[in-house]
Amino acid sequence: MASEKTDVLLIGLGAVGAVYAFVMQNGGRARVTAIARSNCEAVKAHGLNIKSDKFGNFDAFKPDRVCASVAEAADQPYSHVIVTTKAVPELIQTSDLVAPLLTPEYIDRFPIPTFVLMQNGLNVEANLYETLKKLRPVEEPKIIGTALWTMANMRDGNVVEHNQSDRAVLGVYRTMANYTDNTPEEAALLSTFADILIAGGAHVEIEPEIQRVKYNKNVYNVCFGVIPAITRFPTTAIFYSSHSPEKKQTPTANTDDSLAAASASKTAGLCSASPVIAANTLPWLYDCITEIHALGTTLFPERDAGPAINPNLAADVLAFTSDMYGGGHYAHRPSTLVDVEVGRPTEVEVILGELVRMARREGVAVPRLESVYALMLIIQNQLLCQNREK
């Protein structure tokens, strides 16, 4: 017998939001109300053209209901509220974004839903958790954190391009780290939402300690999101040489003269766009990730099952990314780079700023990350100023 559909609200019909709106609706377990702020009328009139290597091509896809604001959609109960907007706290906090669902009028009529934050960055759940805790002090807020490996871009306002990447890791947000098991209530909370995604063909994993998984994933957002945004070139500019696409570049200069000679041996054999990038940039990236690893071992101590943070994090991340981009066949443009190109404020505070703040609190030296953060703040400040002038 078919499962009864549940009503869900998805806030943010950008590229990733569109993919998951399609997944949930296509799975038949959910009626999807989507908030499309900038493209609401276009989506209502023409829908979205989904071009996915995994899920297929679908023209004129429309969620069951499309609204221009959360306030407009706050006329019915929802089992889940899925937030897929970018986390830019300088513009709006999550609690303010979902405020129409937290008014006395709303929560007197309807149950408070489970909130699912499908956003990049660290501690993006904290603000909403604190707000919900103030509303109902005796209740534990129902917030699901996620780590997503879903690479999609929006083109021309209604064309969603998505490759084969599809991995969603779900976990209950907690204020404390180092949980190794979910309670039966937490397991039920997670499986209920996981089933909605799985029915639509998505790959889903459940993790008892989501902040650790998000921390590991954030390495990619820092190194291959923020850094491309600063350089204005995608990740292929680091790993791919169009002059010899089938060969791995190796340093031709004396590595004793490189800026990161101590780490050069750790990155030998990786693909690179040029010998000087192999001699200098790749070892520097290795050292950046080593700083992230050092902070991670402080935040997430070793467990009975072994290290909470991969001890080979730097080598594994660079090897994986080198293999992905080194052949020149993978052309994904990270969203932080796209944001800078089109003049949108970026997620720098939750991706990189939060790392720097945690490192300072814990007394862990991260000089390379602090330098990248300082440079990215110049770009972010200009984007915020431009946004205020619009």
Residue 248 pLDDT grade (very low, low, confident, very high; cuts 50, 70, 90): low
Nearest Cα to Cα of residue 218 among 108, 139, 123, 300:
123
* Strand 30-35 to 48-52 pairing: unpaired
The upper half-sphere exposure of residue 155, i.e. CA atoms within 13 Å in the direction of its Cβ, equals 11
- Give CA separation, 206 vs 102, 145, 313, in Å: 27, 10, 21
User: What does the pLDDT read at residue 264?
Assistant: 87
Average pLDDT over residues 74-101: 97
| pLDDT surpasses 60 at 247 | no
Report residue 176 as tokens. 């404390």
Tell me what percent of the residues of the chain surpass a pLDDT of 70. 93
- Give CA separation, 94 vs 51, 113, 287, 331, in Å: 30, 14, 33, 31
| pLDDT surpasses 90 at 346 | yes
Q: For residue 147, give the DSSP letter.
A: E
The angle, 0 to 180 degrees and rounded to 10, between the axes of the packed helices 15-27 and 184-199 is 90
Residue 385 pLDDT grade (very low, low, confident, very high; cuts 50, 70, 90): very high
Q: Is residue 338 classed as helix, strand or coil in its secondary structure? A: helix
- Report the range of poorest mean pLDDT among 158-167, 246-255, 301-310: 246-255
Q: Contact at 8 Å (CB) between 351 and 218?
A: yes
The upper half-sphere exposure of residue 190, i.e. CA atoms within 13 Å in the direction of its Cβ, equals 23
Number of helices followed by number of strands (H, E) in the chain: 18, 12
| pLDDT surpasses 50 at 253 | no
Q: How far apart are CA 213 and CA 174, in angstroms?
A: 13
CA angle 139, 140, 142 (to 5 degrees): 120
- In this structure, the chain runs to a length of 390
User: What does the pLDDT read at residue 1?
Assistant: 42
Q: How far apart are CA 57 and CA 65, in angstroms?
A: 21
Residue 305 pLDDT grade (very low, low, confident, very high; cuts 50, 70, 90): low
| pLDDT surpasses 80 at 98 | yes
User: What does the pLDDT read at residue 56?
Assistant: 94
- Tell me what the pLDDT averaged over the chain comes to: 91
User: What does the pLDDT read at residue 155?
Assistant: 86
Q: Contact at 8 Å (CB) between 124 and 347?
A: no
Q: How far apart are CA 224 and CA 29, in angstroms?
A: 35
Average pLDDT over residues 307-335: 90
Give pLDDT tens digits for 32-73.
999 998 888 889 989 999 999 999 999 999 999 999 999 999
Report residue 288 as tokens. 């950046």
Q: Which domains does the chain have, with CATH numbers?
A: 6-207 (3.40.50.720), 213-389 (1.10.1040.10)
Kindly report the pTM of this predicted structure. 0.93
Tell me what percent of the residues of the chain surpass a pLDDT of 90. 80
